[in-house]
Amino acid sequence: MSFDLLIRGGIAATPNGIAEADVGVKDGRIVAVGSLANAKAAEVFEAKGLHVLPGVIDTQVHFREPGNEHKEDLETGSRAAVLGGVTGVFEMPNTNPPTTTRVAIEDKLARAKNRMHCDYAFYAGATPANVGALGELERLPGVCGVKAFLGSSTGTLLLSNPDDILAALKGGTRRMAVHSEDEDRLEARKGLRVTGDPRSHPVWRDAETARASTERVLRLAKEAGRRLHVLHVTTLDELPLLAEARDYATVETTPQHLTLSAPECYERLGTYAQMNPPIRGPEHREALWQAVREGLIDVIGSDHAPHTREEKDKTYPDTPSGMPGVQTLATLLLDHVNAGRMTLERFVDLTSAGAARIFGIAGKGRIARGFDADLTIVDLKKKRRIENSWIASRCGWTPFDGMETTGWPIATIIRGRTVMRDHALTAEGQGAPLRFVETLR
């Protein structure tokens, strides 16, 4: 047998289990998995002692282009992704202008071509004005679905009226993603923000703000007969509701909400810990971990949302919410694997197989014959310190600066091409639009 690429001697996470296996790649796809000791290959990757995992897919990133390229753009954001072991991303629509029309989607796809280093798909943003067009927009090539902001966050997108939410839910068929916070409660509680004290952020945007919104959108989705994906779930209060809606609703959380907790993170990081929905107390973090262990969480996305230091250094609440995360997603979660908080099998499900399953990504999410050769090769025992100097995002900082983690991506392979090795970019502009089984042409 002859391959374009042979990954030899690694411990591969396959549908048959995690065990030593070689992986043979030809024309960008996996064509053989097993003992391939006598095979020939144009390129051989010696992976002895390393784990070969399905490529990590980050289902929630904000790369800020167009309109806010001083914080991030598609090139720098995707550079950060592959340096962190991420092979594919879903990019969010709250840009300027927002991604709410066919023209805006086609513009993003044109900007991404030959510039993005990982594979990509873009969300179409829902507004009261475009609910009638969402069924068409969600079926365009390179679109991963519809995203609705039910409570105001970064940008201008907002879909808070129940009639508009229901119209959006009835206006399409693919799984719809929502940022779930109740806008009326956010407005009513603005007075609880304390100037100069970001510890008041989770007081203003309290657990009931998330719970009430999630209860409502689950009811509306059931009425509409629409599959729903609730992004960055943060509260123990939402979890029983989501557990009762498993036939049509899927659940996402973030590494930040599994790693940080209030008030400590605000006391240590100030506004650099500010994000929406907020980092909450340890009781919510433990409930999220229990949901991970029980299988209620389907996927973990970073909610990568960079802002400049100048913006973050203003006085709360005149500071933007969000923090970078695409580059640190894999190593943070691998550190949790090493600490015994989740298994490596669960890591694979939450960062790759889960996204492929619930969004219907074609040809991604497992190491098996016929699938794209998207691979994240990691050294589970490697210890290294996360540092701001390593961050490729244009913002140049991470809330995890100075934290030592165990478990690091060593190589990122996308459709058989090694784009990152030993923490350095090795090939540029290799990204292509992700394909989805519901919209294959």
Catalytic residues: 303
Using alpha carbons, select from 197, 158, 155, 199 the residue that is nearest to residue 322.
Answer: 155
Number of helices (H), then strands (E), belonging to the chain: the values are: 15, 19
Q: CB-based contacts of 389: which residues, under 8 Å, 6+ apart?
A: none
DSSP 280-323: --HHHHHHHHHHHHHT---EE---B----HHHHTS-TTSS---B
Cβ neighbours for 286, distance < 8 A, ≥ 6 positions apart: none
276-301 burial, b if ≥16 CB within 10 A, otherwise e? bbbbbeeebbebbbebbeeebbbbbb
> How does DSSP assign 252-274, residue by residue?
EE-HHHHH--TTHHHHHHGGGG-
DSSP 370: T
**Structure tokens given for 388:** 């701001």
**Helices assigned H by DSSP within 100-197:** 102-112, 134-137, 162-170, 183-188
- Which residue is listed with tokens 């990133």? 61
Task: Judge contact between 431 and 118, C-beta under 8 A.
Answer: yes
Distances (CA, A) of 105 to 140, 238, 364: 8, 32, 22
Residues with Cβ within 8 Å of residue 359, at least 6 apart in sequence? 59, 90, 144, 145, 175, 229, 436
